[in-house]
Amino acid sequence: MLLRILAGASFVVLMTGCGGGYLSAPRVAGVPQSIHPPAHKHVFHFTGAAQTLEVPAGITKVMVVAEGASGASCVTTNSTYCYGSGIGGNGGFVRATIAVTPSETLYVYVGGHNGWNGGARGKGSSSGYFNGGGESDVRQGGSNLKDRVVVAGGGGGGGSVSLNSGGPGNGGAGGGTTGAAGGWGGFYGDGGGGGGGTQTAGGSGGAGGCWQNSCGHDAQRTSAPCRECGQGPGGAGRPGKFHFGGQPSLGGSTIGGAGGGGGGGWYGGGGGGSGAWSYFGPSFTDGSGGGGGGGSSFVEKHAGHVKHIQGGAPPGDGKIVISW
C-alpha cells in the first residue's frame, strides 16, 4: 500500500502482531493529542437560571470547560447621553478535571453578557453605562456560592463617554488567578478603572475623576481629596466582593461619563469611577468613565489538567461544557 506523507506532519503507527498496522491522525505541533476522546459531552448555554446535570452510573471524573461572559454593551435610559463607550473585557477561559460521584447532581451557572451571575449593573442614569459580565461556574455538593469548584471570571464593562470627553476606559479581561484592571481615558477629569479580582479579595473601586491639575491625573491616585475647580467631582466605583463585581459610579450629574461595572468571578472586579464635570462658561466640560475590573477565575485544589486563560472566552454570554 502506498502512503503519501504530508510535509511537516508526523504520525504514530501502531503495529499488530500479524504485521498489520493502523495509521493515527496527524500530530499537529502545539495541539495536545487525546488518546481517549470524551464519549459524552453536555453543552450549557446562558439561560438566566441555574441548570443541573446528574452524573451517570460508573463515572468518577468529568472535564469542565468554562467561559465567562464579556462586559456588556451600552445600557442607557436616555440614548441622547450615550455618546460612546469603552470596550467590554472578554471573560476568562478555564479547563479542569474534577472527581465526581455517580448519581450526584452538579449545578451549572452560565454567566450572562447582561451581568447575570455576579456582574455589576448600572443603577440607571441618562449617561450611558456598561454592565460587567457574569461569571460561569460549576457547583458541587450544593448550590451555594461556597460550593463552586470551577469558576471562569467575567469581563469588566467599558466606561461611557458623554459630551466633551475624550475616550473612555476599556473593561478589564476576566479570568486568570487575578482579573485584569479596567482602563481609563488618560485625560484630566476621567474616572479611574476598577481593579481585577484576586483569589482572596475583590478588585478595588476606580477613583473618581478630578479636574484640578494639582491633584494629578493618575487614575489610581491615592492623594488627598481634590479641591475641585469646577462644580462636580467624579465618584469612586465600589470594590468587588466574593462572586460579585463592584458597582460603577454614575457621577454627580447626567453629564460626567459613568464607570463600567466590575465583572463577576471567584472574587469580582471593582467598578469604574465616573468622570468629573465642570462648567467653564459658556459650556460644560466632562470626563469619561473608567472601565470595570475583570473577575478572577478559580479551580478547587484537587482538580487536574488545569488551564487558565485570562480573556480567553469570546465576546458575549458565557458557556460551560462538561464531558467524560
pLDDT for 129: 56
Residue by residue, DSSP assigns 41-55 as: EEEEE--SS-EEEEP
pLDDT for res 47: 98
Q: Give Cα 224 distance to the centre of its chain.
A: 31
- Structure confidence by residue, pLDDT tens digits, 25-81: 444 454 444 445 677 999 999 999 999 999 999 999 999 999 999 997 665 444 444
Cα dihedral sign for 135, 139, 145, 149?
A: negative
- The answer as to whether 2 is a domain residue is no
265 vs 249: which has the higher pLDDT: 265
Provide the residue range defining the domain that includes 314.
Answer: 42-215+230-324
Query: Is 70 inside any structural domain?
Result: yes
What per-residue confidence (pLDDT) applies to 18?
Answer: 40
| Lowest-pLDDT choice from 122-131, 140-149, 307-316 | 122-131
Q: What is the pLDDT of residue 232?
A: 57
Q: Which residues pair with 152 in a beta bridge?
A: 136
- Residue 37 domain-assigned? no
Question: Would 202 be classed as within a structural domain?
Answer: yes
CA 71 – CA 179 distance, rounded (Å): 13
Q: Is residue 252 domain-resident?
A: yes
Q: Is the pLDDT of residue 156 over 90?
A: yes
164 burial class (0-12, 13-18, 19+ CB within 10 angstroms)?
Answer: middle
Question: CA dist 186 to 198, 275, 288, Å?
Answer: 25, 11, 9
Mean predicted confidence (pLDDT) in 195-218: 77
Q: How does the average pLDDT of the chain come out, rounded? A: 80
Distance CA 205, CA 196 (A): 9
Asked if the structure places residue 121 within a domain, the reply is yes
SS3 (DSSP) at 145? helix
Position 131 in a domain: yes
Which cell goes with 239? 470594590
Q: What is the pLDDT confidence band of residue 159, given thresholds at 50, 70 and 90?
A: confident
Q: State which amino acid sits at residue 87.
A: I
Question: Does the pLDDT at position 188 exceed 60?
Answer: yes
Can you say whether residue 113 is alpha, beta or left, with left for phi > 0 and alpha for psi between -120 and 50 degrees? alpha
Give the per-residue pLDDT at 208: 83
Under DSSP, the state recorded for 300 is -
Mean pLDDT value of segment 272-294: 76
The pLDDT of 183-197, averaged and rounded, is 84
Taking 90 as the threshold, does the pLDDT of residue 177 lie above it? Answer: yes
- Where does the pLDDT of residue 319 fall: very low under 50, low under 70, confident under 90, or very high at 90 and above? very high
In the chain, the number of structural domains is: 1
Question: pTM for the full model?
Answer: 0.80
Residue 36 lies in a domain: no
Surface-to-core class of residue 229, CB atoms within 10 Å of its CB (0-12 exposed, 13-18 middle, 19+ buried): middle
261 within 8 A of 130, measured Cβ to Cβ: yes
| Cell reading at 194 | 476598577
**3-state SS class at 110:** coil
pLDDT at position 161 is 76
Q: What confidence score (pLDDT) does residue 295 get?
A: 99
